[in-house]
Amino acid sequence: MNLYQRHILPYARKYRKTLWSTIILGTLTILSAAMLTFVSGYLISRTSERPENILLVYIPVVAVRTFGISRAALRYMERLLGHNAVLKIIADMRVQLYHVLEPQALFIRSRFQTGDLLGTLADDIEHLQDVYIRTLFPTVIGLFLFSFSVIVLAVYDWKFAIIMGLCLAVVAFVYPMTSLYLMKKNQRESKKLHSRLYNTMTEGIFGLRDWMISGRKEQFLFGFLEESHESHEMDKKLAYWQQSRTAQLQIFSGLLVLLVGLWAGQQAAAGSLMPTYIAAFTLVTLPILEGMIPISHAIERLPAYDASLERIDRIHEQNPINEQLANDVSDLANTTLTLTNASYRYDGRAEDAVHNVTLTIRAGEKVAVLGKSGAGKSTLIQLLLGTIKPTEGKVTVNEQTAAKYGDDIFEVMSVLNQKPYLFATTVENNLKLGDSNATVEEVQQVAEQVGLYDMIQSLPAGIKTQMEETGQRFSGGERQRIALGRILLKNTPVVILDEPTVGLDPVTELSLVNTLHQSLLDKTVVWITHHLMGMEKMDRIIFMDDGKIVMDGTHEELLASNERYRQLYALDEGMS
């Protein structure tokens, strides 16, 4: 389905009466300005003669006042109606976007790059607002003016109307199409550069500490400045064309004014037109052209809307329900995760982040994945979730490629990451993100299961207590327990724990680890961690280094056979 049909036309139909009223008022505004100049031209010419009757001057004076006031009043009403409709449309779009993102709240960080979401909210929504204000309204109004001008001129001289029609077509059609052709590539490239700049900036902010620790701060700054310079140069190129086009259209408009003046003079000489109308017909050309010139700028914005619509569509897009999941949900309890010679290399990197990994995680198995930062743990998780596809080998979930599941992968796997987001609503609503249909009893049962019962009982309104933004009134351990409660309500067979205890004090960490083990007994668990606390309760322990699996075994096996693991375990026990 066409992107405009999905994201523009539904709102245009909903508010069609207001939009059409805005277009009619906009057309009347320019026609009032045209009549103002027409009558003013006639009045100037007429007062230079000796009028036989004072009414020949008085009536045009009144008309000048009338059209001058009506132009301002109509413009005000046009802006009021138009902006009111557009603001309602944008509000509807944001609400719809929120409803799309809300069910994915647990997985925002794994599904979308922060820069993409920021770009969508800061740039794309604004562009779609401009679809109406800067493209739809000026284009339709300009075409109405084109038709009106040719028809009215044909009443006086149909031959000259054809000539003017062809000339005005240059402004209404030729320049807009030429401008669209020339700008399409540059605008899409500009959008791409802006998006990349958003991503670089946000990744740099969130990873500033890592950049500084790794000693690559200068490399980041150089890359950011280079991308900023490229974006700036492209913006300059776009601005130059817009200014150049405007100058060309102004010169062409001046030539058309002269052409109309010559025609009016010839008509007056032939006796077909009163001499007092020469200035009127000449001057009326200016507001008509001013109403048509914006068509070029309006049409050339279409590629920018395309890029914005594509990004929003990627967020809105919901994959069809997977037949395997829909028809045989009971089999999810026996989910098996498999990586076969799987490798993945990020763009611009010389080496694989994950290299030739073969691994099978059976249903109900508890697997810990350890390793230092950059060892490939997070990339491994993204491969399992299907958010990235292996550059070599394959990753399957129940013998089906992980990436093919699309959004349905989250019916199989839940993720508890380091910093789960809590919304400024009640504790109950935050827990029910896992299952919006859960009853109060089910929510309370889950809260007790994750060790939140005493804390909730101490709150002013219990489970109905409002949480502050991002849940700051709660401790780190309590926020993780609420996020765990969401996952238990979601009730997926596989749970991925992405270093959920990072930043917690040892006592809180130990308590949370015990809670995790107790509450996830019937789940398949993949636990990404730096610490070895609780490893004796895991079925298997995998240690990754440079994207490869260098250790694989149970806690007892590795203690007995691997000196490196014994040292790490002893060191970790000493630290805890």
Residues 437 and 569 in one domain: no
Residue type at position 502: V
Residues 11 and 90 in one domain: yes
Residues 515 and 431 in one domain: no
In contact, 89 and 15? CB cutoff 8 Å: yes
In contact, 105 and 436? CB cutoff 8 Å: no
Selection from 121-130, 257-266, 367-376, 441-450 with the highest mean pLDDT? 257-266
State how many domains the chain has.
3
Query: How much is the average pLDDT of 333-347?
Result: 84
User: DSSP letters of 450-490?
Assistant: TT-HHHHHTSTTGGGPBPPGGGTTS-HHHHHHHHHHHHHHH
Question: What is the pLDDT, as a whole number, of residue 110?
Answer: 47
Question: What is the pLDDT, as a whole number, of residue 122?
Answer: 53
Q: Does 540 or 490 have the greater pLDDT score?
A: 540
Residues 330 and 287 in one domain: no
Question: d(Cα 145, Cα 292) in Å, to the nearest integer?
Answer: 7
Mind listing the pLDDT tens digit for each residue in 457-475? 887 777 787 776 655 667 7
Q: Among the three residues 287, 315, 343, which one is the final residue of a domain in this structure?
A: 315
Residues 305 and 331 in one domain: no
Residues 259 and 331 in one domain: no
User: DSSP letters of 482-525?
Assistant: HHHHHHHHHT-SEEEEESTTTT--HHHHHHHHHHHHHHTTTSEE
Half-sphere exposure of 245 (CA within 13 A, CB side): 24
Mind listing the pLDDT tens digit for each residue in 510-539? 787 888 888 888 888 888 887 777 788 888
Among residues of the chain, what percentage have pLDDT more than 70? 82
Residues 234 and 271 in one domain: yes
In contact, 459 and 427? CB cutoff 8 Å: yes
Least confident range from 172-176, 220-224, 339-343, 558-562: namely 220-224
pTM of the model: 0.54
Question: d(Cα 573, Cα 576) in Å, to the nearest integer?
Answer: 5
Residues 532 and 463 in one domain: no
Question: What is the pLDDT, as a whole number, of residue 163?
Answer: 94
Q: Among the three residues 465, 491, 517, which one is the final residue of a domain in this structure?
A: 491
Tokens of 173: 């059609």
Residues 148 and 167 in one domain: yes
Q: Among the three residues 472, 491, 510, which one is the final residue of a domain in this structure?
A: 491
User: Residue 15 CB: number of other CB atoms within 10 A?
Assistant: 19
Residues 512 and 473 in one domain: no
CATH number of the domain encompassing residue 431:
3.40.50.300
pLDDT category at 272 given cuts 50, 70, 90 is confident
Least confident range from 60-64, 79-83, 435-439: namely 435-439
Mind listing the pLDDT tens digit for each residue in 313-332? 776 664 444 444 444 444 55
**Helix, strand, coil fractions of the chain, as percent rounded to 5:** 70, 10, 20
Mind listing the pLDDT tens digit for each residue in 163-215? 999 999 999 999 999 888 877 767 667 767 766 776 666 656 655 555 555 56
Q: Is the pLDDT of residue 116 over 70?
A: no
Mind listing the pLDDT tens digit for each residue in 244-264? 888 899 999 999 999 999 999
Give the CA-trace dihedral at 419, 424, 427, 429, to 10 degrees. Answer: -100
Residue with tokens 């299961």: 449
Strand duo 540-545 + 366-370: pairing: parallel
Per-chain mean pLDDT for the chain: 80
In contact, 89 and 132? CB cutoff 8 Å: yes
Question: What is the pLDDT, as a whole number, of residue 118?
Answer: 54
**What domain range is 506 assigned to?**
324-412+495-576
Q: Which of these, 112, 463, 129, 148, lies nearest to 288 by C-alpha position?
A: 148
User: DSSP letters of 515-571?
Assistant: HHHHHTTTSEEEEEES--TTGGG-SEEEEEETTEEEEEE-HHHHHHH-HHHHHHHHH
Per-residue b/e over 536-547, b at no fewer than 16 CB within 10 Å? ebbebbbbbeeb
Question: What is the pLDDT, as a whole number, of residue 292?
Answer: 94
Residues 299 and 336 in one domain: no
CATH number of the domain encompassing residue 14:
1.20.1560.10
Residues 166 and 67 in one domain: yes
